[in-house]
Amino acid sequence: MNEQPYAVTDPATLRALAHPLRQRIMWELAARDYLRATDLAKICGEPANSVSFHLRSLARAGLIEEKPEQARDSRDRVWGMTHPEGVHFPQADIATNALLAERLDWVKGLLDETLPRDPHAARTQYLGAAVLTRDEALTMAEEVMAVFEKWRERGSKAAIEHPHDPDRVLHFTAAFVGNPRVCEQPSPVQEVHDLGSSVADDPA
């Protein structure tokens, strides 16, 4: 059973995630377990002082924390996620809507091929359907997430062992399971009205 993500409801915490670089930092820490500011600066292509500022902002919001057990010495600051199980946003507001819009834009970019390609990254997609009971659908989803987590852990360990491997890049992963939209059927009254309008407008 996969551990449930931490629910973020505090407005200050949500505001801390509004900046796109902070979102990228969170994704990198989620994929790699822990990083230093200098590592993140190289990965994100941003100045180290800017990355350090955003790390402190995320730390104040309680989203990341120092990992002294990974530090080389007392001056070495290593960062990881406070909630490695992930976070989610149960209450919609401007901040969460912005995060959702960014994720949806990524999905759209994959589907319509408008997302710029990284030559080191792979792309694949699967859209399908299955007739399942609710319990079967939940079991399927848990199995898919377990596969994602297995490969996340494998990538994290490899990134620690080979931190300068240019072929190892961040990949977003996603899985959605749910019912389709309910097809809205017009009422009989509406059907008669539409038919009557069509007949009345027909010059014949």
Indicate if the pLDDT at residue 200 is higher than 90.
Answer: no
Indicate if the pLDDT at residue 120 is higher than 90.
Answer: yes
Which residues, other chains included, contact 62 with Cβ-Cβ below 8 Å and sequence gap of 6+? 10, 13, 82
CA distance linking residue 160 with residue 110, whole number of Å: 28
Q: What is the mean pLDDT of residues 156-178?
A: 92
Token readout for 59 is 């730390």
What integer pLDDT is reported at residue 196 of this predicted model?
Answer: 39
CA distance linking residue 13 with residue 27, whole number of Å: 16
Binning pLDDT at 50, 70 and 90, where does residue 185 land? low
DSSP string covering 58-127, please? HHHTTSEEE-GGG-SSTT--EEEES-TT-EE--S--HHHHHHHHHHHHHHHHHHHT-SPPPTT-------
What integer pLDDT is reported at residue 197 of this predicted model?
Answer: 38
**What pLDDT digit, counting tens, does each position of 37-84 carry?**
999 999 999 999 999 999 999 999 999 999 999 889 888 999 999 988
Indicate if the pLDDT at residue 11 is higher than 90.
Answer: no
Percent of the chain with pLDDT over 90: 56
CATH level 3 topology of 6-201: Arc Repressor Mutant, subunit A (1.10.10)
CA distance linking residue 89 with residue 99, whole number of Å: 10
Give the residue, 197 or 40, on which the prediction is more confident. Answer: 40
Q: What are phi and psi of 22, to 5 degrees?
A: -65, -35
Binning pLDDT at 50, 70 and 90, where does residue 19 land? confident
CA distance linking residue 57 with residue 14, whole number of Å: 12
Which residues, other chains included, contact 141 with Cβ-Cβ below 8 Å and sequence gap of 6+? 175, 177
Spatial CA neighbour of 44 closest among 58, 23, 64: 23
Q: Are strands 64-66 and 34-36 parallel, antiparallel or unpaired?
A: unpaired
What is the residue extent of each domain of the chain? 6-201
CA distance linking residue 199 with residue 195, whole number of Å: 6
Spatial CA neighbour of 173 closest among 30, 14, 5, 8: 30
What pTM was computed for the model?
0.75
**86 alpha-carbon distance from chain centroid:** 10
Q: Give the DSSP letter of residue 5.
A: P
